[in-house]
Amino acid sequence: MFIKQLYTGCLSEAAYYIESDGESAVIDPLRDTEVYTELASERKAPIRYIFETHFHADFVSGHLDLGKKTGAPIIYGPLTETNYPVVVARDGEVFRLGAISIEVLHTPGHTLESTCYLLRDEKGQPHAIFTGDTLFVGDVGRPDLSQDSELGMDDLAGMLYESLEKKIKVLPDDVIVYPAHGAGSSCGKNLGPETHSTIGNEKETNYALKTQSKEDFIKAVTDGLAAPPQYFPINAKINKEGYDSLDSVLQKGLEPLSVDEFKKKMNEEGVVVLDTRTASEFTLGFIPGAVSIGLDGRFAEWAGMILPFNETLLLVTEPGQEEVSMVRLARVGFSKLGGYLKGGYPAWESAGEKIDMIIDIEPDELAMDLPHDPNLVVIDVRRETEFADGHIKNALNIPLNEMSDPGTMAEIQETQNLYVHCAGGYRSVIASSLLKRQGIHNLRNVTGGWAKIQEQKGIEIVKENSVLN
């Protein structure tokens, strides 16, 4: 028996490759499927099954492409309805894989079709459980993402309680827990840093698995849930209804465009220029109106949160980073990719085209300017809870995920001198590019963000205890 967790850090997503006696299976694959087919080929173990734990909301799964490439059936749990052929397994159904078996455990609650897969070893003993978004390390799946149910969040949370009590907590303590996500995912409230655990450890440490009434459980898992990212319903719908192959998306997107061709396309209606270079490179010079989302951060998630899915994306990347940028966009459902600037930003600059810049300042300059400039406004683009835990007095909190809506800029006046910051500098550059795209140019980006700001003397820091409580 061989199990390999394939973890993608920028999405906090875990897929799994399982193998026994020359046969393999994949659980919750990403859209770029080469890693699974190459692994199966290297180990001479053809992929026999593709298991999906549920309709994922935070990424587009690779089940359709992988099924076409391998001929393996796509298996979902009970209550699944799709627009393409799948095997809808029965609760308790067993699939043989070499000398091991995989048992279907229907665990509704995160979504109605949510299903875990219990792997039994060669002796028929429970060895590991692949929990999808039903159970994480230190947390459970949020019960407010189901798209097709008339049930409310509390109803689904109640179903999740029953699933955990009857299907998960009864397993032996030494069974390994392999979830679909780790820390940083928005599919739960506060996932732990580890990417696997055991049933026994989770019963001891996971707040949701500690003995409590159903009512207490519902309150615990629903209190403090932030609004889900805007792209979650889009991805869940794509996973249910189907999508164009990744190869076809890349074939359209990987079109090199000269400066003149790029200019012509970017002036068309419904086009967004996306620059995937690092924040530090972007601020030094960029195409006017471009949105910055650097590949070096949680690129795909932020793209899904702030970019429109119904408009065409034109890319500016570091040379050689065109395909990886597009693959990562496709992972969260972007398919309208209109090409990329051949030669990247240097080609644009060398052609003598207009450029824009963002002024970077150090936190000590902010500390010097704060007492003397009555028009200075600090814009803090961190999440509300981050802001509440400590922020500059009188700072304006506009979380980055809300800035794709021009209405969030209503409080900003042309006479104000804006100083934009986040926690470390990645989000503030994205925010600054969005502000400039809206025609707001009197701004500065505070490098190092909150991590450096709070070290400065002379900056008054306050907390919002009402939010924290």
Three-state SS annotation for the chain: CEEEEEEEHHHCEEEEEEEECCEEEEECCECCCHHHHHHHHHCCCCEEEEECCCCCCCCCECHHHHHHHHCCCEEECCCCCCCCCCEECCCCCEEEECCEEEEEEECCCCCCCCEEEEEECCCCCEEEEEEECCECCCCECCCCCCCCCCCCHHHHHHHHHHHHHHHHCCCCCCCEEEECECCCCCCCCCCCCCCCEEHHHHHHHCCCCCCCCHHHHHHHHHCCCCCCCCCHHHHHHHHHHCCCCHHHHHHHHCCEECHHHHHHHHCCCCEEEEECCCHHHHHHCECCCCEECCCCCCHHHHHHHHCCCCCEEEEECCCCCHHHHHHHHHCCCCCCEEEEECCHHHHHHHCCCCCECCEEECHHHHHHHCCCCCCEEEEECCCHHHHHCCEECCCEECCHHHCCCHHHHCCCCCCCEEEEECCCCHHHHHHHHHHHHCCCCCEEEECCHHHHHCCCCCCCEECCHHHHC
One domain for residues 224 and 294 = no
Query: Does residue 287 form part of some domain?
Result: yes
Q: What is the pLDDT of residue 147?
A: 65
Q: What is the pLDDT of residue 149?
A: 62
Query: Does residue 238 form part of some domain?
Result: no
Query: Does residue 454 form part of some domain?
Result: yes
Range of the domain at 449: 359-468
Q: What is the pLDDT of residue 441?
A: 94
Residues 6+ away with beta carbon under 8 Å from 91: 77, 78, 104, 105, 106
| pLDDT, tens digit, 9 for 90 and up, residues 160-191 | 999 999 999 999 999 999 999 999 999 988 89
Question: Strand order in 396-397's β-sheet?
Answer: 359-361, 443-446, 417-421, 376-380, 396-397
Question: Of 321, 350, 379, which marks where a domain is finished?
Answer: 350
Residues 6+ away with beta carbon under 8 Å from 209: 135, 140, 164, 168, 169, 202, 203
Reading the block at residue 160, the tokens are 């999740």
Long-range contacts of 258-262 (CB under 8 A, 24+ apart): 258/342, 259/341, 259/343, 259/347, 259/348, 259/351, 259/353, 261/339, 262/314, 262/339, 262/341, 262/342, 262/348
One domain for residues 190 and 254 = no
Q: Which residues of the chain have pLDDT under 50?
A: 466-469
Residues 6+ away with beta carbon under 8 Å from 86: 52, 73, 74, 75, 76, 80
Q: What is the pLDDT of residue 464?
A: 77
One domain for residues 143 and 222 = yes
One domain for residues 327 and 366 = no
Query: Does residue 19 form part of some domain?
Result: yes
Q: What is the pLDDT of residue 469?
A: 44
Q: What is the pLDDT of residue 467?
A: 47
Q: What's the CATH number where 26 sits? A: 3.60.15.10
One domain for residues 269 and 140 = no
What is the rounded distance in angstroms from the CA atom of residue 300 to the CA atom of residue 295? 8
Q: Kind of pairing, strands 291-292 and 312-316?
A: unpaired
Question: Of 233, 252, 269, which marks where a domain is finished?
Answer: 233
| pLDDT, tens digit, 9 for 90 and up, residues 329-348 | 999 999 999 999 999 999 99
Cβ-contact 363, 448 below 8 angstroms: yes
Reading the block at residue 234, the tokens are 């889009």
- Domain total for the chain? 3
Sign of torsion over alpha carbons 144, 193, 7, 166: negative
In the numeric block, the tokens 């996306």 are attached to 274
Query: Does residue 239 form part of some domain?
Result: no
Q: What's the CATH number where 284 sits? A: 3.40.250.10
Question: Of 332, 350, 368, which marks where a domain is finished?
Answer: 350
One domain for residues 147 and 63 = yes
Q: What is the pLDDT of residue 465?
A: 63
Q: What is the pLDDT of residue 290?
A: 98
Query: Does residue 168 form part of some domain?
Result: yes
In sequence order, the β-bridge partners of residue 177 are: 129, 197
One domain for residues 331 and 366 = no
One domain for residues 384 and 312 = no
Helix 299-306, helix 322-330: angle, nearest 10:
60
Q: What is the pLDDT of residue 468?
A: 44
One domain for residues 205 and 63 = yes
Reading the block at residue 161, the tokens are 């309680």
One domain for residues 377 and 306 = no
What dihedral angle (degrees, nearest 10) is formed by the CA atoms of 370, 442, 405, 461? -10
One domain for residues 200 and 113 = yes
One domain for residues 45 and 184 = yes
| pLDDT, tens digit, 9 for 90 and up, residues 301-313 | 999 999 999 999 9
Query: Does residue 208 form part of some domain?
Result: yes
Q: What is the pLDDT of residue 193?
A: 93
